[in-house]
């Protein structure tokens, strides 16, 4: 839970500092045929307009990467499978593959750019590695 909180704090701090727009950021805007600039946008919901400009980095990819990396480190350090030596690498690479598929599904849904996914994925990965190596006494 602490790692998820740290990941969310980092991601939202970067999101509010950059304000990078989503691929379909103009979708909630309704265009007006009026020549007046004040009436160009009929849609006035501030929450949807703010959501359209919070793309970088992807929180979805960061959480996915954090949970996958932490679970993979837990499997690597804590579970010894002497009877099935290939099960541990299969589980770890399976988690990594599912995380990449889950993260990159945001691109096909026009929620994030590919840069958002990579930065979010790396952010979650490094937060998990930091917690495993320097914070958690579980893996010592």
pLDDT digits (tens, 9 = 90+) for 72-91: 998 888 888 788 889 999 99
Among the listed ranges 57-61, 62-66, 110-114, 117-121, which one has the minimum average pLDDT value?
110-114
**pTM higher than the cut 0.75:** yes
Nearest to 119 by CA among 106, 108, 134, 110: 106
pLDDT score for 99: 93
Say whether the peptide bond before residue 57 is cis (omega within 30 degrees of 0): yes
Handedness of CA 29, 26, 46, 34 (dihedral sign): negative
- pLDDT of 35-48, one tens digit each? 655 555 666 666 76
SS3 content of the chain, % helix, strand, coil (to 5): 65, 0, 35
Q: Cβ-count burial of 126 within 10 angstroms (0-12 exposed, 13-18 middle, 19+ buried)?
A: middle
């Amino acid at each position: 839970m602490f790692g998820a909180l740290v990941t969310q704090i980092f991601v939202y701090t970067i999101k509010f500092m950059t304000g990078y727009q989503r691929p379909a950021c103009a979708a909630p805007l309704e265009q007006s045929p009026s020549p007046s600039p004040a009436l160009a946008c009929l849609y006035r919901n501030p929450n949807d307009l703010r959501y359209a400009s919070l793309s970088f980095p992807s929180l979805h990819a960061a959480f996915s990467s954090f949970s996958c990396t932490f679970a993979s480190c837990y499997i690597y350090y804590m579970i010894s499978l002497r009877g099935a030596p290939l099960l541990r690498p299969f589980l770890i690479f399976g988690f990594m593959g599912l995380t990449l598929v889950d993260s990159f599904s945001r691109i096909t849904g026009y929620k994030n750019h590919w840069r958002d996914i990579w930065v979010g994925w790396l952010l979650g990965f490094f937060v998990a590695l930091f917690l495993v190596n320097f914070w958690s006494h579980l893996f010592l």
